[in-house]
Structure 1
Amino acid sequence: MRFQHDKKLLSTILVFTDLDGTLLDHDTYSLAPARELIDTLQECKIPLVANTSKTRAELLSFQKSIMLQAPFISENGAAIHLPKTQFPRQPQNSVESGEFWVKQFSQPRAHWISLLKQLAPELQNLTQPFSQMSVEQLCQETGLTFDNGLLAHQREYGEPLKWLGSEDEKHVFIDKITAQGGHVLQGGRFIHIGDQVNKGDSMIWLKDLYNQTSKQNHTTIALGDSHNDIDMLEAADVAVLVKSPVHQFPPLRRTTNIIKTQNKGPVGWVEGLLAGLDILNNQGVSHG
C-alpha cells in the first residue's frame, strides 16, 4: 500500500487509536485486516500511538507483537510512555522507567481501590472490580488468553469494574465517586474509576511535545468506538468513529471533520483512517 498524499502533510501527522473494538476486533482481538496499513504508517514514519484503557504491560506486549516503535498512552490517559530512543531529552515532569520516560497524570491504583472500599456496602455490591477477579474470571469476562489476562491485571493507575446494577443505580454510584474526587469512564466492556484524566488531554500533551521537539505543527487523526474515546475524538483534527458490533457511535459535540465507518473493527479502522488522510490532504483542517 502506498499513500498518494502530500509528503509534507504526511511528515506532520500523528495517529492516535483506541485498541479494543477499534483497531482490534471486538471478539477475536485480531488486527489482521489493518496489518498492511500499519506497516505503511511505519514506513512513512507516521507515529501510531495506542491510546487505550490497556495497561503498560499489555501495551509493551502489543507493540512487540507488531514491531511497533512509538509512544503509547495507557489506562485512559493516566500515563504517556515515551521511548528514550525517540525522545533522548527527558521531558519536564516525567519520570524514568527502564527504556521509557513516563509522564504520569494520575494517582496510583491503590488510591482508587481504597476509595471503592469506603463506599456503602450496597454500592460496593453493585460492582465487581478487577482487583477482586482472578485471572481466570477476567479471561472469562473478556475472552483474553491466560497470558494476556495476566498482563491486563497489572494495572498501575485506575480500577476497571464490571457493573452489576441498573442504569439508575449507576448514576448514584457515579455521583458518589465524583464527590470523592474520582472520575468514571464507560469503556467497551467495563467502567473505569480513576483520576480526572482522559485520552484527549494526554493526546494534546503528546502532540505539543512533538511540536516542540520537531519545531513543526502536527495534525492529529483519532480513531475510537466508545464513550471513553470521546475526549480524544473531540480534540483531534479529524475524528474517526469506528462502528461497534455492540453499541451505538459515541455522541460528539463537534460537527466538522467527522468520519463514521460503515465497517466494524480493523476493517472499519482502515476505512476510517484512509478517509481521514483524504480529508487532510484534500480539504485541509477546519477543527482544532
Structure 2
Amino acid sequence: MSFRLVIFSDLDATLLDHQTYSYQAALPVLKKIKKKGIPVVLCTSKTRAETEAIARKLGLQHPFIVENGGAIFIPENYFPESVYRLAGLKAFKKDDYRVIQFGTSYRRLRLALKMIEKKTGKKLIGFGDLGAEEIAAVTGLGRKEAELARRREYDEPFFLENSPEFELIQAAGQRGKRKIKETGVIHKAQVRETINGQIRGIEGSGERGKLFRRMQEVARSQGLKITAGGRFFHLTGTNDKGRAVRVLKKLYRLNLGKIITIGLGDSENDWPMLRAVDLPVLVARPDGINLKLPEAEAKLLRTSRPGPEGWAEAVNFLLSLQKYASGQGGPAARRIIRR
C-alpha cells in the first residue's frame, strides 16, 4: 500500500520562532521534505501578503491558507481543472492563484469590532486601528513585515486597552518612529516579557474569562466568532482552519490518491486544523501553558520543544515512520502512524 504525505503547518510559534520569527532550526527538515516532494501547506492567521513572502523564503510553491481559514490560495495550474469539478468547488482566479474563499469581509469585521466594544464597554484595539510602526511594536515584526500584516482581508486581530500590547504601543510612541525604522523591532525584551499577556486566564471564572465569554457572545449575535491566538484575539466569520484543511484534503486526494495528513500548531485557533488531520501535532508553547485538545487527545503528538525546534522534532519523527506505514515495517509499525 502506498500513500503520499501532506503537511499542514501553522507559522507563529510553530514553524516560526515566537520571539524572533526565525525558521532556521527547521531548515534541515524542510530541505528533506522538499527532496521527498512532500507538500507543506502553510495554515496561518497571517495575511496573504505575509504568507507569500514567507513561502518565497522557504522555497514553497504549494497552496496556503490565510487569516484563520479565510481563504485558500492555490497556485494556478497546481491542480487540474477536473479536480475542482470533481470536488464541486468554485475557485475563482485572482492574480496567479485559484482562490477558494470562506471568510467574512474585513470591512464587516471592523464594524463588528466597534459593536463588541460598545456592548462590552471595553476599549478594543484592532490592527485596523494601528499604523505599521505600532504593529511592529506589538508583534516584534520589522517595519516591512508589519506593513504586510496590515493588508487584512478576513481576520481582525485585536487586544484590550491597558493590556501589555497597549503598553508597547505607548512605549513606541514615546521612543518615536525613527527608532523603529532604524532597528525594525523595538524593545524585544518587552515583547518577550509579555508573551500571551492578555490571553492568560480567558478560560477561568475571573474577570478576564467573563469578558472573553461576553465578547464571544456579542460576536455570535453578529454571525461571527472570536478565538484566542498565541498573542492576540481574532475576530473572524464562521470560517476556521479546519474547514479549509478539509477542502484541501479533498483536492489532494482527488489529485494524488491515498494521502496521510500531518498538522502542526500551538494555539486555540489551530484546534480545528488539528482535528481535521490524520496526525495532529501540538507544538510546545514558549510560555509553558499545557493546552488540551480533548477531541484528538488519543492520537495527539506533543513536542518537547517549542517553535521550529519542536516542529523539526515532530516532522523528523513522523518521516521516520513513513517507510513502515507504507508496508516496509510490518503491521505493528503501520498501526503507529494510523493511530
Q: Find the counterpart in structure 1 of residue 244 from structure 2.
A: 202
* Contact 2:15–2:23 under 8 Å retained in 1: yes
Alpha-carbon distance in structure 1 between the residues aligned to 2:298 and 2:130: 42
- 1:189 Cα shift? 0.7
Do 1:163 and 1:190's aligned partners in 2 also have CA atoms closer than 8 Å? no
Percent identity, please.
Answer: 32
For residue 160 of structure 1, the aligned residue among 157, 161, 167 is: 157
Aligned to 1:140: 137
Secondary structure, in 3 states, of the residue corresponding to 1:13? strand
User: Is 1:101 aligned to residue 98 of structure 2?
Assistant: yes
The DSSP-based 3-state class of the residue aligned with 1:156 is coil
TM-score by length of 1: 0.91
Quick check: 2:117–2:124 contact (8 Å CA) kept in 1? no
CA RMSD of aligned residues (A): 1.8
Gaps of 5+ in 2: 164-207, 326-332
Contact persistence 2:69–2:243 (CA under 8 A): yes
**Match for 2:292 among 251, 256, 262?**
251
Matched, 1:266 2:263: no
Q: Is the 8 A contact 2:245 2:273 kept in 1?
A: yes
Which residue of 113, 125, 132 maps to 1:116?
113
Q: CA deviation at 1:234?
A: 1.6
Gaps of 5+ in 1: 1-5
Which one of 76, 82, 93 corresponds to residue 74 of structure 2?
A: 82
- Structure 1 residues 120, 234: closer, same or farther in 2, change over 3 A? closer
1:185 pairs with one of 215, 224, 227: 227
CA apart distance, 1:247: 4.8
Asked if the contact 1:259/1:275 (under 8 Å) is kept, the reply is no
Paired with 1:283 and 1:277, the residues of 2 have a C-alpha distance of 13
Contact 1:240/1:273 (<8 A) preserved: no
Change (3 A) 1:183 1:159: same
Within 1, Cα distance between the matches of 2:320 and 2:277? 15
Q: Which residue of 2 aligns with 1:228?
A: 269
Contact 2:6 2:260 in 1 (8 A): yes
Distance 1:234 1:149 in 2: 31
| Alpha-carbon distance in structure 1 between the residues aligned to 2:67 and 2:290 | 21
| The one of 174, 189, 194 aligned to 2:216 | 174
Structure 1, residues 167-187: CA drift from partner, whole Å, max 9, x if none?
321211111111111011110
User: Counterpart of 1:283?
Assistant: 334
